[in-house]
């Protein structure tokens, strides 16, 4: 496996402020460089959650390896935390642009690059899918910003709204207490036909990020005519990740939660229906 780290600020020639991250890690099969018949592979950018205060390891490398196992080239993003908008979104945009600009290096299919985000990382993935051409992004990345839109997103128990049903900690960090950002960063208000198709999943019992977040976004997708799929599972707390022994302790990984673990194959089937699959190079 080709595993390397890329400093996105260095790649883009941007000044990196103290405390900023913007690090991309690659998980790419070694075999792609030696195949007699090289293949194009879909790409998956993994954005972990953590309330914009930290990044959950349970929602990062294990998820990348799960998609790698299914034929994807996977990438994880260490975005800056305890940092308000727009820094995390700029870094997510840089990551997606980097993948498009380096598709040949990784044998990526540049038309099938997705992002998956969890909790606050779901909010960041959602912003990436809608707000990639906001003035704050274009002022930094210029014309390259148009290449930041993923071709699909998987939003896992995502924070969507900055309103009544939000996760307060996530809201406070990403807005930096600026009231003018409450509406702009409430993603249910920002959906347009330009938004990337989405797969959403949540649990009814989530008492950290209420299920209404996904329901609000689904209604907005429906109104705007954006393709989406959504799965609401009855049982399960917040932050379940893969629902596997690698990411959950034994008390969580039981028969009651086993049905929630179906979100991964369901997401793979949905992505495949949208053309995300390994295919021979023309």
Return per-residue pLDDT of the chain as tens, 282 residues.
899 999 999 999 999 999 999 999 999 987 655 555 668 999 999 999 999 999 999 999 999 999 999 999 999 999 999 999 999 999 999 999 999 999 999 999 999 999 999 999 999 999 999 999 999 999 999 999 999 999 999 999 999 999 999 999 999 999 999 999 999 999 999 999 999 999 999 999 999 999 999 999 999 999 999 999 999 999 999 999 998 766 666 555 566 788 899 999 999 999 999 999 998 876
> Does a structural domain hold residue 59?
yes
Query: Residue 177 in contact with residue 198, Cβ under 8 Å?
Result: no
User: Which element (helix H / strand E) includes 110?
Assistant: strand 108-118
- Domain assignment present for 239: yes
CB 71 within 8 A of CB 41: yes
Does 98 fall in a domain?
yes
Q: Please check whether residue 123 lies inside any domain of the structure.
A: yes
Q: What range does the domain containing 243 cover?
A: 5-276
The closest of 1, 126, 122 to 65, measured between CA atoms, is 1
User: Residue 244: its pLDDT value, please?
Assistant: 73
**SS3 call for 54:** coil
SS3 202: strand
Residue 148 placed within a domain: yes
Q: State how far the Cα of 45 lies from the Cα of 37, in Å rounded to an integer.
A: 25
Q: What pLDDT sits at residue 5?
A: 98
Q: Is residue 281 included in any domain, yes or no?
A: no
CA distance 22 to 74: 16
Bridge partners, residue 230, by sequence: 200
**Using CA atoms, how far apart are residues 96 and 81, in angstroms rounded to an integer?**
19
Note whether 186 and 205 are within 8 A (CB). Answer: no
Counted domains in the chain: 1
Is residue 108 situated within a structural domain?
Answer: yes
Tell me the C-alpha distance between 93 and 63, whole Å: 20
- Number of helical H runs and strand E runs in the chain: 10, 9
Q: Phi/psi zone of residue 92: left (φ > 0), alpha (ψ -120 to 50 degrees), beta?
A: alpha
- Residue 77 located in a structural domain: yes
- Residue 69's domain is classified under what CATH number? 3.40.50.1820
End-to-end alpha carbon distance in the chain: 24
The confidence score (pLDDT) of residue 254 equals 62
pLDDT value, residue 257: 82
């Amino acid at each position: 496996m080709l595993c390397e780290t890329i400093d996105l600020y260095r790649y883009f020639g941007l000044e990196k402020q103290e405390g900023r991250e913007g690090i991309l890690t690659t998980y790419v099969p070694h075999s792609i460089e030696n195949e007699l018949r090289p293949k194009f592979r879909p790409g998956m950018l993994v954005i972990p959650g953590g309330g914009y205060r930290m990044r959950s390891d349970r929602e990062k490398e294990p998820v990348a390896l799960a998609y790698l196992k299914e034929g994807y080239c996977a990438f994880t993003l260490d975005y800056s935390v305890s940092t308000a908008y727009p820094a995390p979104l700029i870094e997510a945009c840089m990551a997606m642009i980097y993948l498009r600009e380096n598709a040949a290096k990784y044998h990526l299919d540049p038309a099938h690059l997705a992002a998956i985000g969890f909790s606050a990382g779901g909010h960041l993935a959602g912003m990436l899918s809608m707000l990639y051409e906001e003035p704050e992004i274009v002022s930094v990345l210029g014309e390259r910003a148009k290449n930041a839109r993923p071709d699909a997103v998987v939003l896992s128990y995502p924070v969507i709204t900055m309103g009544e049903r939000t996760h307060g900690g996530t809201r406070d960090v990403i807005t930096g207490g600026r009231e003018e950002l409450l509406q702009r960063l409430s993603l249910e208000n920002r959906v347009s036909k330009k938004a990337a198709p989405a797969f959403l999943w949540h649990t009814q019992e989530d008492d950290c990020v209420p299920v209404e977040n996904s329901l609000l976004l689904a209604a907005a997708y429906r109104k705007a005519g954006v393709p989406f799929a959504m799965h609401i599972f009855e049982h399960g707390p917040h932050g379940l990740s893969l629902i596997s022994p690698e990411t959950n302790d034994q008390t969580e990984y039981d028969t009651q939660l086993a049905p929630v673990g179906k979100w991964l194959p369901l997401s793979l089937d949905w992505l495949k229906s949208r053309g995300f699959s390994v295919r021979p190079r023309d």
